Amino acid sequence: MTASGPRPPKLGGTHLANLHTFLVAARHLSFTRAADELCLTASAVSHRMARLEDELKLKLFHRLARKVELTDDGERIFQAMQLTMDTLSEAVQERAHAQLQGQLCLYARPSIAQCWLVPRLGDFMARYPGIQLDVRVGNEPVDYRTRRIDLALCYSNGEHPGLRSRRLMPERIAPVCSPDYARAHDLTGQPARLSHCTVLHDVAAWDNIAFDTEWRLWLQAAGQNLELPERFMTFDRSDLSTLAAINQAGVAMGREQLVRKRVQDGELVLPFGGFQGVMNYGYYLVHPAHEAMPKRLQVLIDWLIEQADN
């Protein structure tokens, strides 16, 4: 006869209510913030979690001095519940005639949102009027657990541990400035004359970088053994850096997808030649893993890929 441990409990109504509390607490990693969302006290949330752990015979949280963290069992159950909620949400949104309905939150870096994404959104809304798209922008790292973001459009090298990542389009970079600035500083074909210029930096190009990383990657890719000048100006958006360059504030690092039209229109020039690819950096679509991809999210991803191919 094989020995066996205690039989796992069957889930009932009380368990489901406490599991919902667990889902909120696990998403916030805070009993206090979970209590605010659920209109409970932090003590009540803590008691519910203790009772749930006792009933399930599982430890779900590590309770630290000022925060809580999920145990391995807690993380496993949280991921399973997230998938379940995705499935339920999709079922609620389904219609007998298979129309696409519901909300989607798309998060993007400000520069790609302004220069590339937003001008195209009219086409998406014309095709999918039943989808309510909530577009958010920012430079901070995306926290899918607390912010309810369905999809992020990121400028990165595609490395997003624990998430699904797909390259939407490549990116190449090159210094750009106004034609008048290039003439005034005799820059055309002479990168060494950067030492007489003000260099404009996007300090938030992607997560956790030095303020001059994008410029240094270009120097390496272009084979330029130069020191960057001491005169510089910093921005937290590439489009603002580019706008400053148009208005003769200095030389910015231009991203091809964002500045191509301004170069074609003559607002900007490439004083040191064409764009350079930098490793795998480009624009990526990033989202949590889904056992079954919600249809409205899939059509958004497909639409973005179509736009990138045009």
288/119: higher pLDDT = 119
Domain co-membership, 81 together with 216? no
Strand-strand pairing, 164-176 and 199-202? unpaired
Inside any domain, residue 2: no
CATH of the domain at 46: 1.10.10.10
Domain co-membership, 188 together with 262? yes
Domain co-membership, 210 together with 258? yes
CATH of the domain at 213: 3.40.190.10
Domain co-membership, 31 together with 155? no
Domain count, the chain: 3
Strand-strand pairing, 102-108 and 151-156? parallel
Instruction: Using the CB atoms, write b or e for 191-220: b if 16+ within 10 Å.
Output: bebbeebbbbbbbbbbeeeeebbbbebbbe
Distance of CA 98 to the CA centre of its chain: 29
The pLDDT of residue 44 is above 80: yes
Residue finishing a domain among 56, 89, 122: 89
Domain co-membership, 190 together with 248? yes
Q: Closest Cα partner for 155 from 174, 164, 143, 168? A: 168
Inside any domain, residue 300: yes
Q: What is the pLDDT of residues 226-259, one digit of tens each?
A: 889 889 999 999 999 999 999 999 999 999 999 9
If pLDDT is split at 50, 70 and 90, which confidence band does 143 have? confident
168/294: higher pLDDT = 168
Q: Closest Cα partner for 73 from 91, 49, 38, 89? A: 49
Structural domain range at position 161 = 100-169+283-309
Inside any domain, residue 4: no
Share of the chain above pLDDT 70, in %: 90
Beta bridge partners of 106: 135, 151
Inside any domain, residue 120: yes
Residue range 267-287: mean pLDDT, rounded? 90
pTM of the model: 0.68
Domain co-membership, 161 together with 289? yes
Domain co-membership, 203 together with 144? no
The pLDDT of residue 94 is above 70: no
Beta bridge partners of 263: none
Domain co-membership, 64 together with 17? yes
Mean pLDDT of the chain: 86
Inside any domain, residue 77: yes
51, 256 in Cβ contact below 8 A?
Answer: no
Rounded to the nearest 5°, which phi and psi values hold at 214?
-65, -40
Inside any domain, residue 71: yes
Residue range 9-29: mean pLDDT, rounded? 77
Beta bridge partners of 103: 132
Q: Residues, the chain, total?
A: 310
Q: Closest Cα partner for 26 from 59, 64, 74? A: 74
H or E segment to which residue 200 belongs: strand 199-202
End-to-end CA distance of the chain: 67
The pLDDT of residue 88 is above 80: no
Domain co-membership, 177 together with 262? yes
Q: What is the pLDDT of residues 176-227, one digit of tens each?
A: 999 999 999 999 999 999 999 999 999 988 777 888 889 998 998 888 888 8
Domain co-membership, 73 together with 138? no
If pLDDT is split at 50, 70 and 90, which confidence band does 12 have? low
Q: Closest Cα partner for 176 from 260, 114, 108, 95? A: 260
Inside any domain, residue 291: yes
Domain co-membership, 235 together with 303? no
Domain co-membership, 164 together with 287? yes
Q: What is the pLDDT of residues 66-85, one digit of tens each?
A: 888 999 988 888 888 877 77
